Amino acid sequence: MVWRSTRGEWVSMYLLLVAHFATTLLAEDGLLINGDFETPPSGGFSDDGLGDGHVTIPSWKSNGTVELVESGQKQGAMFLIVPQGIHAVRLGNDAEISQETKVQKGSLYSVTFSAARTCAQLESLNVSVPPASQTIDLQTLYSVQGWDSYAWAFQAEDDYARVVFRNPGMEDDPTCGPIIDDIAIKELFTPDKPKDNAVLNGDFEEGAWMFRNASLGVLLPTNLDEETSSLPGWIVESNRAVRYIDSYHYTVPQGKRAIELLSGKEGIVSQMVETMPNKPYRLTFSLGHAGDSCKQPLAVMAYAGDQAQSIHYTPNANATFHTATLNFTAKAERTRVAFCSVYYNTRSDDQSSLCGPVVDDVKVAVSGSNRKGLGGLGLMLGSGILLVLVLV
């Protein structure tokens, strides 16, 4: 009896410790707590809006006119779009939801979320972890499904991050506003720079969280800060997004991840790479199609310093990609490498969803001719040294 009582006390203490540490664990990669809004509030789901905090969304704080909407729900003659599952959240005028999560101070994190607009074409969504903030324009629909997934990155300035989504709009109908769903977080790591390649994360393997069951990829909106990018090493320096894709739903030249370029010259991804002035370099990359019924022709405009070249995707037999090359001479210690689509492409199966060429496995290295020249010089020097030794 004494043994059983002692064991019970140990079990109770263990459970208390587990409960304590669960509140202090770092955020795991994936959904935030109730990030899909499928956990029912107290009293269950209701068709009534969650106005002014009268009903609480589990694990979230809300402010303003916030609604839990359901797939198939109508507003007038319009069906509301729920990106995934059965439920999502709609934010009214100047309304917001937020959740605090434990993070590693100083680390880089990316937040992935799905969003759809409702009443107004000019709707937007502000995502922030104060003081970092970005407003994302939802006017352009990249897919015919009526919603898209986006990623936004921030650097943790404290041990806790308050992730906030706010509707900055002020519509005549206060219940109008963006719908958001499937909110996830991922800690990002800067890959080591490979040998004989000046490009960081040139294979695009390190990047934003992607759901295995989501087939639209993740849009990377405008971001000019390479220090806080959802695609480490790269920035999006245009007013349209590029799409981050995976091999589970798209054709990828190598590895698990790649970039699909959308919206012509309005979707540019770039990186500043280290170079030596007046040295010849060679930019190489894989160019292909994503296997998403994108109308051809497919072509990219590749930039390296003051050089630019339009390169068309030319399939060979059953190959889904080929290697493209651009030679250039560096003019400075840092050289801009960039890519955009030459054309505005859409999918042939729905005539609407934006698509484009795929870029992967980007490399910048000293050109072969220069390396050979250095090798020849090495042999000459070696012979010279040998001759001196013989003479001595």
Domains of the chain: 26-186 (2.60.120.260), 189-392 (2.60.120.260)
Please list, residue by residue across 157-178, b when 16 or more beta carbons sit within 10 angstroms of its beta carbon and e when fewer do.
Answer: eeeebebbbbbebebeeebbbb
Q: Give the model confidence (pLDDT) of 335-376 as tens digits.
A: 999 999 999 999 999 988 999 999 999 999 998 754 443 333
Q: How many helices (H) and strands (E) does the chain have?
A: 2, 27
Q: Report the DSSP beta bridge partners of residue 6.
A: none
Q: Give the model confidence (pLDDT) of 74-107 as tens digits.
A: 887 788 899 999 999 999 999 999 999 999 999 9
**Cα dihedral 183→185→190→191 (10° resolution):** -80
Mean pLDDT of 289-300: 94
pLDDT reading at 261 higher than 50: yes
**What is residue 152's predicted lDDT score, i.e. its pLDDT?**
98
CA of residue 383 relative to chain centroid, distance: 53
**What is residue 27's predicted lDDT score, i.e. its pLDDT?**
74
Transcribe 133-144 into DSSP letters.
EEEEE--S--ST
CA pair distance 205, 193, nearest whole angstrom: 13
122 pLDDT band, cuts 50/70/90, is: confident
Least confident interval from 84-93, 105-114, 273-282, 371-380: 371-380
Write the CB contacts of 70 (distance below 8 Å, at least 6 apart in sequence): 45, 47, 80, 82, 86, 87
